[in-house]
Structure 1
Amino acid sequence: MKIKLAVILMSLFGLTSVSSVALAGTTIELSANDTMQFDSKSFEVPAGEEITLVFTNKGALPKAAMGHNVVILKPGSNVMGFGAGAVAAAATEYVPQSGSLAEQVVANTRLLGPNETDTIKFKLDAPGEYSFICSFPGHYALMKGIITAK
């Protein structure tokens, strides 16, 4: 993972601040599979810096049965409530586009089928814990994690 590599390189060269590397931006690489799991559950990023998320669905099952996305929610969002409500947004790949649920979304990837990748850029302006989930029906209970912005 690029974040871990950056920390190792910083240690080798005597740098101790993650924000030193963040000046060029931070990249998060995340993947999911057919067992409804993200390969990582937590990330730490600098607040206010541009973040690049590269998300890959490494599964083999068809998108209609096992599609995956990443939806990043604002701090304090009700993850279970969002996931349950997102089911009604099938037309927009299970990411609500209006109302109180849409207001909780910071950023999201497309819904991906097998061996597809999507890259998005976003900022987490305020320090805090931002939940991320897969909003495909039923996945949010298992497929979730935290991005901590410092």
Structure 2
Amino acid sequence: MTRRLPVLLALLALLPLSATALARNCAIAIEADDLMTFNLKTIRVPGDCVQLRVTLKHVGRMPATAMGHNWVLAETRHHRDLGLAGGRMKIADAYLPRDDARVIAHTPVIGGGQSVDVVFPTSRLRKGGDYTYFCSFPGHWNMMKGRLVFE
């Protein structure tokens, strides 16, 4: 038994690490086009995801200055205000107010043929919360949007 004790202690020491190792990193891909649409209207994120990677691919042809798109996530109650505020910002700011706490995650603005990723912890989300993702390019935010569900 004395030989097994160090092995058992080593295994017990690994238990906290195993919970972290079992935590899921999740990923989704979404497309935007020159017609100001996303290919997904709802994104469902499993509740056991601790981190989410969103890959935005602009499948259109127009440049970012003419028909750029990004992916912004916020609580639905902030969607309109962020969209309006973004219209006063610049492309370098991703058409969003800088360091605005209402923005949970966002990508830069990209043009046709480009793709970009954003990775963020799901600790900023609540199960059953009301979230909207949208493009903050001026004029796009009101029609180019969808719902994110954290299950």
Q: What's the TM-score bracket when you normalise by the shorter of the two chains?
A: 0.7 to 0.9
Instruction: Give the Cα–Cα distance (whole angstroms) in 2 for the partners of residues 86 and 124 of structure 1.
Output: 24
Structure-1 residue corresponding to 2:14: none
Q: Report the 3-state secondary structure (helix = DSSP H, G, I; strand = E; otherwise coil) of the residue aligned with 1:142.
A: coil
- Structure 1, unmatched stretches of 5+, are 1-21
Q: Report the 3-state secondary structure (helix = DSSP H, G, I; strand = E; otherwise coil) of the residue aligned with 1:114.
A: coil
Structure-2 residue corresponding to 1:12: none
**Pairing 1:112–2:110 present:** yes
Q: Report the 3-state secondary structure (helix = DSSP H, G, I; strand = E; otherwise coil) of the residue aligned with 2:95.
A: coil
Instruction: Give the Cα–Cα distance (whole angstroms) in 2 for the partners of residues 23 and 35 of structure 1.
Output: 37
Structure-2 residue corresponding to 1:30: 30
Structure-2 residue corresponding to 1:80: 80
Q: Check whether the contact 2:69–2:136 (CA below 8 A) recurs between aligned residues.
A: yes
One-letter identity of the residue aligned with 1:115: G
Q: Check whether the contact 2:133–2:146 (CA below 8 A) recurs between aligned residues.
A: yes
Aligned residues: 125
- Structure 2, unmatched stretches of 5+, are 1-21
Structure-2 residue corresponding to 1:148: 149
Q: CA deviation at 1:93?
A: 2.1
If the length of structure 2 is used for normalisation, what is the TM-score? 0.76
Instruction: Give the Cα–Cα distance (whole angstroms) in 2 for the partners of residues 107 and 76 of structure 1.
Output: 13
Q: Check whether the contact 1:56–1:118 (CA below 8 A) recurs between aligned residues.
A: yes
One-letter identity of the residue aligned with 1:120: V
Q: Check whether the contact 2:82–2:97 (CA below 8 A) recurs between aligned residues.
A: no
Instruction: Give the Cα–Cα distance (whole angstroms) in 2 for the partners of residues 105 and 36 of structure 1.
Output: 21
Q: CA deviation at 1:64?
A: 0.8
Q: Check whether the contact 1:71–1:95 (CA below 8 A) recurs between aligned residues.
A: no
Structure-2 residue corresponding to 1:54: 55
Instruction: Give the Cα–Cα distance (whole angstroms) in 1 for the partners of residues 117 and 82 of structure 2.
Output: 23
Report Cα offsets for 1:68-123 as digits up to 9, x if no partner: 000111x343322210111112141202114xxx1210010110011111011112
Q: CA deviation at 1:23?
A: 4.0
- The structure that has the greater radius of gyration is 2
If the length of structure 1 is used for normalisation, what is the TM-score? 0.77
Give the fraction of aligned pairs with identical amino acids, expressed as a percent.
29
